[in-house]
Structures are given as structure tokens and as C-alpha cells.
Structure 1
Amino acid sequence: MEDNGRTARKRAQILEAARPVFLRNGYVGASMDEVAALASVSKQTVYKHFTDKEQLFTSIIMDTTAQVEGLTKMITATLDDDGDLARDLRALARGFLGAIMEPELLRLRRLVMAEAERFPDLGRTWYERGFERSLKTLAAAFGRLGERGVLRLDDPELAAEHFVGLLLWIPVNKAMFRGGNDLYAEADLDRLAEAAAGAFLRAYASPDTA
């Protein structure tokens, strides 16, 4: 058990060191020598845990899908109660926006997109385990609200896509093309979340809820 724990810690240490190397240099420019140096291990140790650069890169990207668990829990916890729908949607929108606009996640998103042709399966899996999973959780929550008569909708999945599109289309695209970590102040994100939640409610809230 102790050896397993030591192995897991060493693997995590290498991943932590490798992430900024790939983010800064891209896949082609990333050096396993630099990864080893930053992790304070030998290059042989890196290859003991990861057979090649491709496996290391894949592990870095796929490890981030664990962050989605937090998003799915937030969606369920926020919408699966009998509270104020407008308030809950604003809170969900702000939390969702804050998670997606996290600087390192945006940089990873750019990296996955840049390497999509080289690693099509990786990009597809990252999308399915990440963004698509969140959409399905959101659609299920909207479906339950529809069954309770709180929302008027025929297609919960389309409603989820509309909500996320209203929320993320402009800020995420701006971040993808312009880069930088300071495009939006907290007040800007608050305003975007408020506007997206309001537009969604005007389209989907039942008359008794609106």
C-alpha cells in the first residue's frame, strides 16, 4: 500500500510539472527533459510512469475531466430544490461561467483544439467526458423542472444548449481568440450570468414562474 501511495504521488508530481510545459510550448515543443527537471526526477522515472510523450500529454488532458464532477454536482444541487428559480438560475449561471472561464482550463481548451487533428480521439473523449456530460446533467435537471411545470419545454437537451450558449458564446470565444487572463472582471461575469439567466427565463419559464 505504501509503494502504491508513493507511486501515485510521483505520478502526480510529474503531471504537475508537465502541465505548464505543454501549456507553454504545445505538444511538439514540450520536452521530456524539461518535465523531468521541473519534477525533480530523472528522465527514466518519467518514462517509468508514462511510456512516451503522447501518454503523458493524454494523461494531463484527461485528468482535467475530473473537474466536471464539481460542475455536475453544482447543477444538481442548485436546480433540484423548490427554491426561487430565477435566483437559482443566476447562481448556476455564475458558477458555471466561473468554472469554464478559469484561466488554466481555457489554456487547456486551446491546447486540445490545437492538437485535435493530431489526437482526434483525445479531443472527442475530452468533450464527451467534460462539456457533453455537463450538458446532459443540465438537460436532466431542466427536464425535471419541466415535469413540475416550472419550465415550458419540449426538448430539455435543446433548452440546455440554449442556456449554455447564451452564457458562454461571447466570453469563451473572446478568450479563445484573444488570450490573456484579464478579459473579464468579476463584475463583468456577474452581468453576463444575470443576462443569460434572464433571457433563458423569458424564453422558457412558465407563466406562473416568470
Structure 2
Amino acid sequence: MAAGKDDLDAYGIPVVPAPAGAASRKRRAIVDAALTEFLAEGYSAASMDAVTARSGVSKATVYKHFGSKERLFLAVIGDVLRKTCADLEPAGQAIAAAPDLRSALVRLTTDRARILLRPDVMALRRLVIGEIDRFPQLGRLWCRVGHDVDDGPLVEALTALDARGDLAVPDPKLAARQLVAATVGVPQLVRTFSPEAEIDEAELERVIGSGVDLFLARYATGA
């Protein structure tokens, strides 16, 4: 489930529409160029002149669409977050109905890890962390997207599993966060602060399998 327009508006994040007309295409070109510039230089050192040159539009057009460097930065982050969320498929019903719960959880967390460990997403994560004091709304949005939007279907699945007696999950929201932390969170933490670290498929499989086993041992009925 992707963050919608209302979600972004609540955090003061300008929404970037799909490039249907000339104005939307220019707006899209500006955001794409700004993403490249912000990731390369950071917020403070990023140049609006460079964004203008990369996008192929005039500086007046850039300011007409976004008004300021700050609003352009917010639009860039919101745009990438929305796209990333769209790649994360809701899995609530599939998890609750899976004949092999362990395999389903491994598949879910592995798919999520492959998306969240992409170089572009990791670079964005580092950028947001570096600018969190200047733009606290970005941190709140990141948590909103991660905890409420992405984890929502998983919380529903854990609630259903608890009701059926397949697992004993008194706090499904906390359990969902623990599952993500024990699986996706391990390689994500490494890659956040060591961008050069290589996490191959065998290591990812080992970490995620171990994290899922830890989770199932904790929430097994009678544990």
C-alpha cells in the first residue's frame, strides 16, 4: 500500500503527479534531476543551478513548481518513499492463509529486504538520517510509511493467526516490528553505516531464516 496524497500533505510533502501533460513532465524532470543532485551532494551542498542544468528547464520553472529548495527536497523524498511503498506488496491475507507459515514469512521478509537494500533506497535513508534535525517531518513520514502503511497488512495477519490459535501474539503491532527488525533490520543496519558492505544471497538467506525462526519461537502457542 503506497502513501497517498493525504498522507504526504499531512507532513507538508509536495506531491509529484504522474507526467500526463507538459507541466507534469517538467515537474517529473525536475524531481529526477534533484534526486540525483541531493544524493550526490547532500541537501546543504546541492545546487539549484545544477538541478536546473540536469533537468533541462529554466530556474524560473523550477521555482514556479516548487517555490524553494526546501520544498523541492521534501518532494523528492516523498516521491521516492511513495514509489518504494508501491513496490512492497501487501501480504496480510497470504500470510494468514499460508499452509507453511515459516516459508511465507521468509518470502515476505526476503522480498522486502531486496527492495529496502537497493542502493537508491539506502542512499535515500542515509540522506534522511543526515537531515533529520532540519526536516523532522521526514523522519515522521518515514516511520508513518514503514510502521503504519507497510506493516499494516502484516499486523492484520498476525491478529488473525492469534485469533485462530496458530500463534500467541498479544500485541500484533509490536510483533510485526520485531519480525522486521530481526530480519530486514539486520542487513539494513549494516548497509546504512557501511555502504560498501556486501550482503550476498547466502548471507541474506541465513540472517532472514534465523530471524523468522526467532520470531516463531517467541510467538509459538505455549511458548
In the alignment of these two chains, the number of paired residues is 204
Could you tell me which of 136, 140, 147 is aligned with 2:163?
147
**Which digits, 9 at most, give the CA deviation of each residue in 1:109-157, with x for residues without a partner?**
1111111111112221232133442233322221111112221111111
2:127 is aligned with 1:117: no
The residue that corresponds to 1:70 in the other structure is 87
**Which digits, 9 at most, give the CA deviation of each residue in 1:14-66, with x for residues without a partner?**
11111111011110001111111111112122112111100110001111222
Structure 1 residues 94-113: aligned runs within 5 Å:
94-113=110-129
For residues 74 and 190 of structure 1, do their structure 2 counterparts lie closer, same or farther at Cα, with a shift above 3 Å needed?
farther
Q: CA deviation at 1:81?
A: 2.2
Consecutive unaligned residues of structure 1, counting only runs of 5 or more, are none
Q: Which amino acid aligns with 1:119?
A: F
- Detail structure 1 runs of 4+ shifted over 4 Å in the superposition: none
For residues 161 and 126 of structure 1, do their structure 2 counterparts lie closer, same or farther at Cα, with a shift above 3 Å needed?
closer
- Structure having the larger proportion of residues in helix: 1
For residues 130 and 153 of structure 1, do their structure 2 counterparts lie closer, same or farther at Cα, with a shift above 3 Å needed?
closer
How far apart in 2 are the matches of 1:8 and 1:187? 43
Q: CA deviation at 1:77?
A: 5.2
CA-based RMSD of the aligned residues comes to 2.1
How far apart in 2 are the matches of 1:4 and 1:84? 44
For residues 149 and 69 of structure 1, do their structure 2 counterparts lie closer, same or farther at Cα, with a shift above 3 Å needed?
farther
The residue that corresponds to 1:38 in the other structure is 54
DSSP-derived class of the 2:134 partner:
coil
Q: CA deviation at 1:4?
A: 5.8
2:189 is aligned with 1:170: no
How far apart in 2 are the matches of 1:74 and 1:171? 22
How far apart in 2 are the matches of 1:189 and 1:10? 40
Structure 1 residues 1-210: aligned runs within 5 Å:
5-66=21-82, 67-71=84-88, 73-76=89-92, 78-180=94-196, 183-206=198-221
TM-score of the superposition, structure 2-length normalised?
Answer: 0.83
Consecutive unaligned residues of structure 2, counting only runs of 5 or more, are 1-18
